[in-house]
Amino acid sequence: MPHAQLESFEFVSDVDGPHLLVLGAIHGDEHCGPQAITQIIKEFESGQRTIKKGKVTFIPVCNPRAYAQGVRFIDHNLNRNIKRREDTRGIYEYELMNALCPYLESADIMLDIHSYQVGGKPFAFVNSLEGQEVEISRAIGAEYIVTGNVEAYRNTRSVEDKMSVGTQEYVLTFGGEGIIFECGQHEDPKSLINAKQAIEKILAFLGLCEGVHDSGRNVPVITLKKTFMKKGEGHLSKDWSNFDRLKQGDVIAQFDDGSELICPEDGVFVLPKANVTVGYEFGYLGQAVGE
Ligand SMILES: [Zn+2]
């Protein structure tokens, strides 16, 4: 397989400042990132927007083949088990990771733009409650801030730790900070508006461009406690919405073998997904920090 290439756009100031990396379409079925990033690139190219300090790198489409086909991925979820590999074993996303890793390694701050299956408000995943990821998430319009991705995977014995390394965790291991911004439902036009505003606001918050941001708002912080795995054929017990309240003992899902997935503790349902393949997650149990 020839080496996969990624199209990137870079805008650099003579004045020192942070290096921001903005990613779209890590998942090929998510359109708001590429569209919003393309609009912002046009603003830079037309001179309507200028960079005051630092550097911003945009990769509008991180999974070009999946994006062209409108599917989440080709061979492997690009946001799982990210690392450089000498032997990519013919797996397209492993080729992409080799192209993507140098960008992730050199960024001070990464904004990775996604959309999701169930409708709802924009929210952010952060690595840590320390540092500036939480404040950036507030600044760019998140209505919820979710942390504890890695821990949620580690609490699931059936999934290896290494699977939890997505863009965000990879950036962290190279000393950067990373925010995954979930803009809304895949097909909702509001997701594009949220994505574009998030880019405008992070550029303003970091001082890379003129503009306003929403820093200082009070936003609930949710920690992920457990992954709800689809261990066999089955379905969610109802049409769950994102951040629905959960009670200990609630039936999350029913499997075809007659067994049930029971909620172990009170909390909220983060990112419920009805249409998932066996071996992947139905979603996560989250709990509000400080509750
Ligand atoms: Zn995604």
Q: What is the pLDDT of residues 236-285, one digit of tens each?
A: 999 998 999 999 999 999 999 999 999 999 999 998 988 889 998 899 99
Q: Cα 130 vs. chain centroid, distance in angstroms?
A: 19
The answer to the question of residue 141 being in a domain is yes
Range of the domain at 16: 9-205
Q: How far apart are CA 185 and CA 282, in angstroms?
A: 16
Arithmetic mean of pLDDT, 100-109: 98
199-241, pLDDT tens digit by residue? 999 999 999 999 999 998 899 999 988 899 999 999 999 999 8
pLDDT in the model for residue 289: 85
Same domain, 194 and 227: no
Same structural domain, 159 and 200: yes
Mean pLDDT, rounded, for 193-198: 98
In the predicted structure, residue 150 carries a pLDDT above the cut 70: no
Q: Does one domain contain both 158 and 274? A: no
Does the residue 216 lie in any domain? no
ipTM of the complex as predicted: 0.99
What's the gap in Å between 140 CA and the centre of ligand 1? 18
Domain boundary among 144, 170, 205: 205
Q: Are residues 155 and 284 in the same domain?
A: no
29 and 124 co-located in one domain: yes
Q: Do both 14 and 93 map to the same domain? A: yes
Q: How far apart are CA 279 and CA 277, in angstroms?
A: 6
Question: Which tokens go with 234?
Answer: 């089955």
**Counted domains in the chain:** 2
Residue 116 Cα to ligand 1 midpoint, Å, equals 6
For residues 187 and 241, state if they share a domain: no
> How many angstroms separate the alpha carbon of residue 52 from the centre of ligand 1?
30
Ligand 1 centroid distance, CA of 59 (Å): 15
- Gap from CA of 63 to ligand 1 centroid (Å): 11
Distance 27 CA to ligand 1 centre (A): 5
On whether both 184 and 283 belong to a single domain, the answer is no
Q: How far apart are CA 141 and CA 128, in angstroms?
A: 18
Say what percent of the chain tops pLDDT 90.
80
Going from the Cα of 15 to the center of ligand 1, the distance in angstroms, rounded, reads 33
Report yes or no on 282 lying in a domain: yes
CA of 115 to the centre of ligand 1 (A): 6
CA of 14 from ligand 1 middle (Å) equals 34
Distance 4 CA to ligand 1 centre (A): 20
pLDDT in tens, 37-92: 999 999 999 999 999 999 999 999 999 999 999 999 999 999 999 999 999 999 99
The domain that holds 283 is classified in CATH as 2.40.50.100
Share of residues in the chain with pLDDT > 70 (%): 93
| One domain for residues 201 and 263 | no
Cα 30 to ligand 1 centre (Å): 6
Whether 210 is covered by a domain: the verdict is no
Q: Kindly state whether residues 127 and 32 are assigned to the same domain.
A: yes
Whether the Cβ atoms of residue 164 and residue 171 lie closer than 8 Å to each other: no
Give tens-digit pLDDT for 163-181.
578 999 999 999 999 999 9
Q: Are 116 and 271 in contact (CB under 8 A)?
A: yes
| pLDDT given at position 4 | 84
- 148 with 192, same domain: the answer is yes
Same domain, 195 and 248: no
Interval between CA 260 and ligand 1 midpoint (Å): 27
What's the pLDDT at 158?
44
Find all residues with CB under 8 Å of 236, minimum gap 6, and list them.
252, 253, 272, 274, 282
CA distance between the termini of the chain: 51
Asked if the structure places residue 1 within a domain, the reply is no
Q: Which of 205, 230, 260 is the last residue of a domain?
A: 205
State the CATH number of the domain containing residue 33: 3.40.630.10
Arithmetic mean of pLDDT over the chain: 92
What DSSP state is assigned to residue 183?
E
pLDDT value, residue 160: 47
pLDDT at residue 13 in the model? 98
